[in-house]
Amino acid sequence: MADPFFQPVSGFDLPRFAGIPTFMRLPLVEADHPRRKDVQIGLIGSPWDGGTTNRPGPRHGPRQLRDLSTMIRAQNGATGVRPFELANCADLGDVGPNPVDLQDSLKRMTAFFAGVKAEGIRPLTAGGDHLCTLPILRALAADAPLGLIHFDSHTDLYHSYFDGCLYTHGTPFRRAIEEGLLDPKRCVQIGIRGTAYDTEDREFAAHAGIRVIAIEEFFARGPEDVMAEAREIAGSAPTYVSYDIDFVDPAFAPGTGTPEVGGPTSFQALQVARLLAGVNIVAADLVEVSPPFDASGGTAWLGASILFEMLCAMVATPA
């Protein structure tokens, strides 16, 4: 029986342009809220882009994703899944970063997600740039490494930028592997494409045993076949899902800092998220939506829709 408190506000009751915009019109349940102990999946904003090496802006992502997510309705159009009836979902608010101190921001974010984990809440996070994923993994994988299904046009596996800077949005998964937060044999990266600095990231992946599925292979095999392999790589053990909006072709998602042409459509972007059903998803994120480059709001709308598909996959497979 669905808990009425955790149901989103319906557009039948209050028009979608009215009211305070929380993620998917869910209740806002911050740390001291009396219903906090009943939350099972928490939608969280991580408004920070201090790891961005080129065009900034994802710090503004959570606010725009909240706004556009008010267009999400309660039922999945393709599968009929009604996620808000299957798990108590709530907007837990934002992580508070320190925009002028990278290491302090990482510490604050790790502490926030360690608290969420201790409460038994599975986080579904809206970034923020892709370095936001590292502190989440530090909090969630402190005891045992996780598997990873990673959608992106970039591997984010480089060693360093700018003569020794180890922490950028191009390095989070390199650090996560080095820190033992991910099991490389249970990691798969999907959609990789575009020009590259060199082959250092791909060589690291090959050496570590990370499966990289480039866009040419993705299109040659199709989403169903690729995602069947991804589910097999992740297996039944706890797995993190990280979704960089630049996985999607910039024709559909121009509002991001590092777009790469020749990518999947918005249909395929939702399809791959839907095909996560069956994976033991402990947490997921959607990162790199950059409102300053998203004049129409269409990128944030796609991002909100991907978050909904990931949420449906999470409720299909309670951890």
Residues forming the site for Mn ion (CB under 5 A): 130, 152, 154, 156, 244, 246
Q: What backbone torsions phi and psi does residue 284 show, to the nearest 5 degrees?
A: -150, 160
Helical (H) or strand (E) element with 234: helix 223-234
Q: Are the C-beta atoms of 178 and 158 separated by less than 8 Å?
A: no
Nearer to Mn ion, 53 or 280 (CB): 53
* Distance between CA atoms of residues 150 and 284, nearest Å: 10
CB 47, min distance to Mn ion, A: 17
- Burial class (CB within 10 angstroms; exposed 0-12, middle 13-18, buried 19+) of 220: exposed
CB 246, min distance to Mn ion, A: 4
Q: What backbone torsions phi and psi does residue 226 show, to the nearest 5 degrees?
A: -65, -45
Nearer to Mn ion, 22 or 171 (CB): 171
Q: Are the C-beta atoms of 159 and 172 separated by less than 8 Å?
A: no
Neighbours of 209 (CB within 10 A): 12
Nearer to Mn ion, 246 or 309 (CB): 246
Nearer to Mn ion, 8 or 257 (CB): 257
CB 49, min distance to Mn ion, A: 12
Q: Are the C-beta atoms of 136 and 123 separated by less than 8 Å?
A: yes
Task: Tell me the DSSP string of 254-268.
Answer: --SSS--SS---HHH
CB 128, min distance to Mn ion, A: 11
CB 152, min distance to Mn ion, A: 4
Q: Are the C-beta atoms of 190 and 150 separated by less than 8 Å?
A: yes
CB 172, min distance to Mn ion, A: 8
Nearer to Mn ion, 8 or 172 (CB): 172
CA angle 142, 105, 178 (to 5 degrees): 40
Region of 36 (left: φ > 0; alpha: ψ -120 to 50; beta: rest) is: alpha
Nearer to Mn ion, 59 or 154 (CB): 154
CB 51, min distance to Mn ion, A: 10
CB 102, min distance to Mn ion, A: 17
Nearer to Mn ion, 91 or 201 (CB): 201
Q: Are the C-beta atoms of 192 and 152 separated by less than 8 Å?
A: yes
Length of the chain: 319
Nearer to Mn ion, 183 or 246 (CB): 246
